[in-house]
Amino acid sequence: MSSLIPGLCSITFRKLSPPEVLQLASSAGLQAVEWGGDIHVPPGNLAAARKVRFLTEDAGLKISSYGSYYRVGSSKDFPAVLDSARELGAPAIRVWAGTRGSRETSKAERQIILEDAQRCASQAGAAGLTLDLEYHDQTLTDEPESVISLMRELPDSSIRFSWQPPHRKNLGETLATLHTVLPRLGHVHVFEWWPGPETRLPLAHGENRWRQFLALAKTAKGPGRCALLEFMPGDNPAYLAREAETLRQMLTLS
C-alpha cells in the first residue's frame, strides 16, 4: 500500500501571492503544492515559474504538479505549458481532456483529443514529466466507461489520471470512478462539495466518504502521490489549518 502526501492546490487561494500561499501551507503542516497556471505560474512566464520554484524549495515544500488549464484537443499553447512546468520543477502537468462531456463528443472530436493527448504526453515524457488527465465534468473523463476507453486508447505510461469526486454521485458510484483510474492514478484533489459545487462544506462533513476514497487511493501502486486540498468553504484562508488537520487525520486512519 502506498502513502499519500498532504498538500494544497494553489488555486484554492487565487487572490493570494505565492509567498502567502506557501506561508499558509507551511503553517498548516502541508508538504506539497500544485501550482496553478491561471494566476500564480502563467504558461510561458518562465521567470515567474523559476521564482515560485525557488520560493517553494526555500519553504521546504514539494511541488506536486503544474495545474495547467490546457484543453487537450483545442488549446494551442502546450509548448509554453511544458516550458513553465519544467522551469517550475513540476513532475506532472494536469490537463483537461476536451471541452465537452464524453456523450456529447463526436468520434471525430474524440480522435483529435486522443492525438493531441499522445502528442503532449510524448513531449512531456521526453522531459521526464507525466501528463495527468483530470477526472472532470464536461470532459472525456466524466464517466468510467469513457475513462476505460481512454486508458485503452492511450497506453502511454506517461499519461495518468488525476482524480476528484464527481458531482451528485452516491458513494458506490464515486468509488467506482476512483477504482477505474487506480492502475494509472495521479494525484487526488480533496474537497467536500455536497451535493454539488454550489455548496462548499468542511472536509469533516464528508469524513466517512473521504476515508474510503483515501484508503482506496492508497492501494494504487507507485510513490509520491499527493492528496491536495482544494476549495475551502467561502475560499477563506482561515479554514486551511482546520482542513489540513482533518486531512492528516483521515490519511492516518484510512
Report pLDDT for 56: 98
Report pLDDT for 128: 97
Report pLDDT for 29: 97
pLDDT in single tens digits along all 254 residues of the chain: 678 999 999 999 999 999 999 999 999 999 999 999 999 999 999 999 999 999 999 999 999 999 999 999 999 999 999 999 999 999 999 999 999 999 999 999 999 999 999 999 999 999 999 999 999 999 999 999 999 999 999 999 899 999 999 888 899 999 999 999 999 999 999 999 877 777 899 999 999 999 999 999 999 988 789 999 999 898 999 999 999 999 999 999 87
If phi > 0 it is left, if psi is from -120 to 50 it is alpha, else beta; for residue 128 that is: left
Report pLDDT for 1: 66
Report pLDDT for 210: 96
pLDDT in tens, 78-104: 999 999 999 999 999 999 999 999 999
- Answer yes or no: are the C-beta atoms of 243 and 202 closer than 8 Å: yes
Each domain of the chain, given as residue ranges in start order, spans 5-253
CATH code assigned to 5-253: 3.20.20.150
